[in-house]
Amino acid sequence: MNEHQLQNLKRFSELAERARQFGCYTYSSFHSRETASLAFEVASENEMKIWGGTENSERVVVRFGDPEEFSYDEEFPIRILLIEPKQAKYAETLTHRDFLGAILNLGIERDMIGDILVQNNSAYCFVSEKLADVFCSDLDRVKHTSVSCKIVDAVPGDFLPKLKEENITVTSPRLDAILAKVYHLSRTDAKELFDMEKVILNGRICRNPETILKENSIVSVRGYGKLEYHGEEHTTKKGKTGITIWRYI
């Protein structure tokens, strides 16, 4: 592990121990799923949960604490903000980078911000609960466009990632072969993704390129994308395997 990973691992360990010691939930700041998966090194699956506001959030918070042991559950301290131009017809073209830049210019740290979903110059942003009111009072401009900011309960479906079904044929049902086919890589390049810890399988870093996926497994590959595996369909006369995936687009 590099120094940054070791620091995060230490912080996760502290949060897990605090939850056990005091019998209450503790929460991390926002992390990539890759970093969040390090929490499995210090806590069991019963003692932790990962959530970023939606099932498919790329930036997530780790909660430590066992609901069965505590005998209660608790919502994550995450709020959803809707940021939109006050006058849509006069708005500039606003991108993810523009919204993120405007937020960081408020002096807010990146780890207080989750996913930012942008469409038609508006954005839904997941943020730490304790800073939600600061956003609403202080964020009034993105680039040169005047905006409003308010807390909402949910994100409309058309802002969420879409899934596209694909039927592909692979030389092997191994994960490295699937990634090579889906992302048009050589098997060597696909295997390097595992060495570089870029492959996240069901929330955990996957280091084994020979992994055989189970149905409904979710695979994220940093820098490439995300997919759901829905199983083998058939075997060709040449011995190749036909599989079905759902790719996030």
166-192 tens-digit pLDDT: 999 998 889 999 999 999 999 999 999
The pLDDT score that the predictor gives to residue 172 is: 86
Q: What is the pLDDT of residue 231?
A: 87
CA distance 147 to 158: 21
Please tell me whether residue 48 adopts helix, strand or coil conformation. strand
CB count in 10 Å sphere of residue 81: 22
What three-state secondary structure class fits 201?
A: strand
Summarised one tens digit per residue, pLDDT across range 127-162 is 999 999 999 999 999 999 999 999 999 999 888 888
pLDDT band at 234 (very low <50, low <70, confident <90, very high): confident
The predicted structure's pLDDT at residue 51: 97
Q: What is the mean pLDDT of the chain?
A: 94
Residue 1 clears pLDDT 90, i.e. is over it = no
Model confidence at 238, pLDDT cuts 50, 70, 90, reads confident
Q: Which run of H or of E encompasses 242?
A: strand 241-248
Rounded Cα distance, 16 and 26, in Å: 7
State pLDDT tens for residues 81-128: 999 999 999 999 999 999 999 999 999 999 999 999 999 999 999 999
Q: What percent of the chain has pLDDT over 90?
A: 84
Q: Could you tell me the domains of the chain?
A: 3-70 (3.30.1370), 78-159 (3.30.70.330), 163-248 (3.10.290.10)
CA atoms within 13 A on the CB side of 119: 10
Q: At what angle do helices 175-182 and 187-195 cross, to 10 degrees?
A: 120
State the virtual CA torsion across 3, 54, 223, 177 in degrees, nearest 10: 110
Token pair for 139: 């964020």
Q: Distance between CA atoms of 166 and 215, rounded to whole angstroms?
A: 15
Tell me the chain's radius of gyration from C-alpha atoms: 20
* Pick from 51, 186, 217: nearest CA to 126: 51
